[in-house]
Amino acid sequence: MPADLRIADGNPIWLSQSIVPSKDTVISPGQSPSAATPNVNSTDVFTYIKVENTGNVDLGACACAAAVPAPWPTVVLFANFLANPNASTSQTQSGVTFTVSNFGDSLSGTGINFSFGLSASGKRAWAWSPDSRFFAYVGSPNGNDWYLTVVALQNVTRSNGTVINKGQAAVTGNGLFAGPPYWTNANFGWAGSKAVAAAGAYAGGGGIVRMVACPEAPSPNTYGDLIPDMPGQVDWTQLSSPCGSVFAFVPRVLQAAVGSRDIMLISTATAQVVSFRKNNVPTSVGISGANPSITTNQHAANGVHVITGGSPVDVDDPDCTTVGGGIAVIVDRVKASTLPSANLGVLGVGSATLGVLLIGQNRWVQVPNSNASGWSNQGEQHWCLLGQAYTSDGSTIPRPWNGQAASPPPFPVNNNNCAQRNIQILP
């Protein structure tokens, strides 16, 4: 059984015991309330909905499965490089074939037909992402320039909810490096599976040019900067968090006289610089030694341990200290009717959320009546409460019904995650 939520039906179906209007102050979501009969002036009646996880997926929990302690991995440099305009080769992975030829390079497979064009200088580097969802390719018309294209090998949802279709370019970037040799595959690498990093000598003078391309970020989805080159004094390591939510430029301070240098974090969801946090308060982490390291010990606040060269510090895990979404619970009501149709109008009651619900767990969710009309009964004492639960991401378990939409269809009471209960609203 896939992800599933249940609000248990009653016997008969119109008397669910998992929907309870109550005046009780129920301290714990693990406890059940006793039922009460609201009147039209009640301001102390909540509707409690018992939601059960009857599927085989923990809902609202951190999706990062990386076992701890987890050292942050370094960027994996592109493994493939050619510098001959007449070279020809092909590679196949998971049913997708990359072909190099003097007529142009391309990617092909079921639902994928992407042309990278001709790399006139003959230089190209490429690599599949570790999770095989993306393919990254770098070509060069003139040898000193480079053009990066990352292609989605399956439909991928960006952090803002939009979808990159299979076979489409997810992110592109370009630049110039000084040389010769200008660049090779060693200038590019996958940081986890959510970012491609590029770094090389600045073509316009001294310095290092850096770029991070984030295929899951909405446009603009690249970050770039230019930093001073300090050979023998400061070197840089490129790391990513175990589940790839952030990319880190980590300085290695080779000479103590240089002083401390801060780690720079880039969110792969936004391609923007973000801060480390400690108890959710922004903080910086300075490195003063030559052998810094970052290790996730716990997928929670203060769960990341940084060896700085000075005093080690603990900061929040950027992968899982906060987990967006959870379970939404919505309550509506309709006048007494033998079927929970919407033909007499649907009054919203309120909504609430439930954070984490593990497989087999249940919780009572407290839903306030936030409708401006309160418990007005419109002259009819008999009403029916309609409760529904779904995941806030809208996709794992979609919202079954919108009673506040124009001309809503009948309430889908036969759905597992929908139930109804007759109540009386006294004058």
Partner 1 sequence: MTVHRFTVNIPNGEARGVAVRLRLQRVTAKSVAALGLGLPESALEVESAGITLDPCADEGKPELELKVPAYSSRDVNVVIATAAAGPKRGGVTAFNLIDERGGKVAGGVMLACVDRVGPEPAGQVIKPPRPCPVVLAGDPYPLAAHGDPSKPPAAKILTGGTAVELVVPITNPRSSTLSEVQVYLEHLGVSDATFAPATWNVGDFAPGAVFYATWPVSTAGRSRGTFTASVVVASARADPVRLEATLRIGTRSDSPQKEKTTRARLAARTRPVRRSPAGRRRLGRG
Radius of gyration of the chain (CA): 28
Rank residues 120 and 344 by Cβ distance to partner 1 and give the closer one: 344
- Residue whose CB is less far from partner 1, 234 or 328: 328
Query: 59 or 138, CB closer to partner 1?
Result: 59
State which residue, 35 or 201, has the beta carbon closest to partner 1: 35
User: Judged by CB, which is closer to partner 1: 154, or 351?
Assistant: 351
Q: Quote the CA–CA distance of 403 and 346 in Å, as a whole number.
A: 6
Residue 381 C-beta: closest distance to partner 1, Å? 8
Q: Is 215 or 325 the residue whose CB approaches partner 1 more closely?
A: 325
For the CB of residue 68, give the shortest distance to partner 1 in the complex, in Å: 11
CB 153 within 8 A of CB 94: yes
Kindly compute the dihedral angle of the four CA atoms of residues 25, 30, 34, 39, in this order, to the nearest 10 degrees.
50
Q: How far is the CB of 393 from partner 1 (least distance, A)?
A: 10
Shortest CB 271 distance to partner 1, Å = 15
Q: Which is nearer to partner 1, 40 or 87 (CB)?
A: 40
C-alpha distance across the termini of the chain, in Å: 45
Spatial separation of the C-alpha atoms in residues 410 and 418, rounded to whole Å: 12
Q: Where are the alpha helices (DSSP H) in 57-161?
A: none
According to the 3-state scheme, what is the secondary structure of 41-65?
A: CCCCCEEEEEEEECCCCCECCCCCC
141 prior amide bond cis, ω within 30: no
Smallest distance from the beta carbon of 333 to partner 1, in angstroms? Answer: 13
Sorted by sequence, the CB contacts under 8 Å of residue 363 that are 6+ apart come out as 29, 30, 50, 51, 354, 357
Minimum CB–partner distance for residue 310 and partner 1 (Å): 22
Q: Is the distance from CB of 292 to CB of 309 less than 8 angstroms?
A: yes
Residue 61: how many other CB atoms lie within 10 Å: 17
Is residue 124 classed exposed, middle or buried when 0-12, 13-18 and 19+ CB atoms within 10 A define those classes?
A: buried
Whichever of 64 and 209 has its CB closer to partner 1, that residue is 64
CB 277 → partner 1: shortest distance, Å? Answer: 9
Closer of 130 and 400 to partner 1 (Cβ)? 400
| Closest to partner 1 by CB, 133 or 277 | 277
Cis bond upstream, residue 12 (ω within 30): yes
Q: What sign results for the dihedral spanned by CA atoms 336, 341, 346, 352?
A: positive
Least Cβ distance, residue 60 to partner 1 (angstroms): 6
Give min distance, CB of 202 to partner 1, in A.
Answer: 30
Instruction: Give me the residues paired with residue 247 across strands.
Output: 240, 266
Q: How far is the CB of 14 from partner 1 (least distance, A)?
A: 5
Q: Where are the beta strands (DSSP E) in 94-228?
A: 96-100, 105-109, 112-117, 124-128, 134-139, 145-152, 156-157, 163-164, 169-176, 188-191, 195-201, 208-213, 222-227
User: Looking at beta carbons only, is 221 or 420 nearer to partner 1?
Assistant: 420
Question: What is the spatial distance between Cα 211 and Cα 207, in angstroms, rounded to a whole number?
Answer: 13
Tell me the residue length of the chain.
427
Q: How far is the CB of 151 from partner 1 (least distance, A)?
A: 31
Query: Residue 331 half-sphere exposure, CB side, CA atoms within 13 Å?
Result: 31
